[in-house]
Structure 1
């Protein structure tokens, strides 16, 4: 009786808080967006419902069970910026709220994450009521002036095992709210079973595909279908429509070693993908094993048989000359029995393990290593949010590269960002020298205000050098690391960055430009540039300094050529432009 009273009181309080604040809340519905905003969708313009995973036409080709499961919102999320101190979500569900082995928070709940200006993930929590008509109230206790003024980026993960029919996000009418469009980077596409769909994570953010998306900061398309991930050609056909960074085939737990031809299914699936996506990496994942296989001989034998057939298929594909085919083995997944909820489905502990192993292999396959130093760990950032939007500029560059391939890529921080060119910046102090000198040479501006080495590394990892052949890559980066990193850390970061560029643009010439002088740090930068020059020799790339005319005879910065002791003014940019022109022409 007491529990019933408390439950009724809780429902009353939650519903009252929503109804009382309704007049002050502005609500946003994804259905009303003019651009695609549901992350994790591969066919945003073709879906029957905004929260479905497959295009409407797939209903005619895939099995009914697969089609019905594709209506569930596993792997889908919504990204937005807000400075609200309370974020409300109300939504309507179609199916059962929970399952015997998976809580309502995982089956039907939501999960809200956000990022700091330095690219670190945070997680929000709050009160919730999960029924057919559900709601969440996330409380954000951040009294900082920066949050009040600018807010931060959020990502709302949707239910793993339910179909969302209606959803709205609400914030106080005085708070800012800006939805972010889906990203243009090539996604990871994962086809699998209930484990891939998210069973049995306690909440959406703990599904391994969602963990992987946050860790890689790359879209992940979740094509997990509970009990129905069977390497079917109809699904493979749809997968090949996606211009993917990498494909994952993780279907063995849904195959029967006695009735399904695992070997032939694998061979056919890989070859079908290869017909359309010639060089895209494919990971073939073995069965993770059963929790009871140490005490149940039949379980162990089934796993061994399935995995042997998959490994045989992998080896034969490699023998035929198919490249970029990788095998993720059971022993590498390293599942212990405490990582399961039941006999097969991972708990949160298992999901973290699954994601971690996948991340390590994927980083190795797509050459996105992450080091033990901050300068070697790729990061996003929003430190200059009052001047420009970092991710928006990144997306603009990806789009610009598709329609107009750059000849020379000039990477840097605000010194490059504020020079001029495209994408257009709110500050362009050297536009005349850019238009008159650099633009005719085919130089594109890849400068981002407040970028450090690790931020440029992130951008290189996230496709800014993909899909075209540049003649030259020019780097002038590191000044923003000086106050945070040692010279050794800076050099190690530049080394990682150069090697990442070589992998993506092996035919391009790389030119490193010495860090420009800044007030009070002239001697420090001079010594650091000597070390950068030594690195250039070791990495077999060019190194040049273009700062001689920016210094007085005593080696101190010439303030008349700068706006603030760091950023050149119009005259300073003209000097730099002429210096850079001579280097480019002489190359």
Structure 2
């Protein structure tokens, strides 16, 4: 393959052709090489050799310097090889990161053999930060990323794609604003596309609502720069943040027991379905998006199975409290955003993917967090402190989308028939922390009604929750009464 070319002439001819054809191409979508840079040309040639010799590649990581950095082993700040070996080597992974690349460069590489003949289970794609650093708009950058995804679907139709949102940085306020808009666009674009999972792991890099600059190596370089590249700790954190989703896409076992993924608060990382339940999670997400066009809800309920199987639209495959639902809401237009087995991270993904977009209800009732306290092979159990952070993140997103809504945040309902049941103590701690965190927040009511379900000795009657977790008709009636007393509803 001939590697040397004349990029300026090629791009000029392409732009001229596009102008004549009337298409809407931009520099972000025009395949462009960097063969005039010797290291880049040499790396591309080496990749082509690897592609020929590593036909059994199961995973591709594709992107720019943040991805290429996995090849570095320079402690303490740039020692990324241990993370690569731990999470990716056993997956027969191929690193296709090129420092400084934009979407245009990735498109050229894909068109010139870098994935030809491979059949990986999955591709992790992280690209676009150099587009916005060079002044490209959110629309241009998003279209460039979409073009890369389309090219991957063409070249690797059998491979799942894990598309990562742009990571946060402190390069400039302008870049951060454009990056955030790119991520919003990508979330909407890939809310339900087959074989493509979008994941924004930005929350992993924040601490106390501020970017944790200590986990970026740029400020510690000999010539300090603004935070952009995760350091040894940040790169490990990134791998942990994507591991549950990557495991699901690759249909393999996690490369670390999920209970050990402690560097990142998993309650804050938006992810799609984690657990299988008695319904189709993806179809319910589509049903929610369709239901939004049918009604203008006065009330929106957000939660897990306790909310899901109460009633309303979209219809559930079974309903546990139809009479209580009718008494609470009657003819009031209500949208039910409850999903069985959801954790806070699932709700954050759903909010990110359009379920609350454009809604301005009078009241939002949030009841989430109980599933975060239980661990499975798909997700570790969260601490009470982590759960509260997840709930507060949901509160903030809903408030930002609909500042005029009253938010009613429910305390987690009791679980287990005995007062000494395993989850009673962490639930109490969550509710204690949540009450303190929400105190004084405008138009927000914290409603902890757990004691109403319990006998004086702390036992939970089966007539109220026959499985120790989900309310019966009589149990839902207690919730209705509490909402009425708080002035949220007027029972029929």
Larger Rg: 1
Q: Which has the higher strand share?
A: 1
Q: With structure 2 as the length reference, what TM-score do the two structures score? A: 0.50
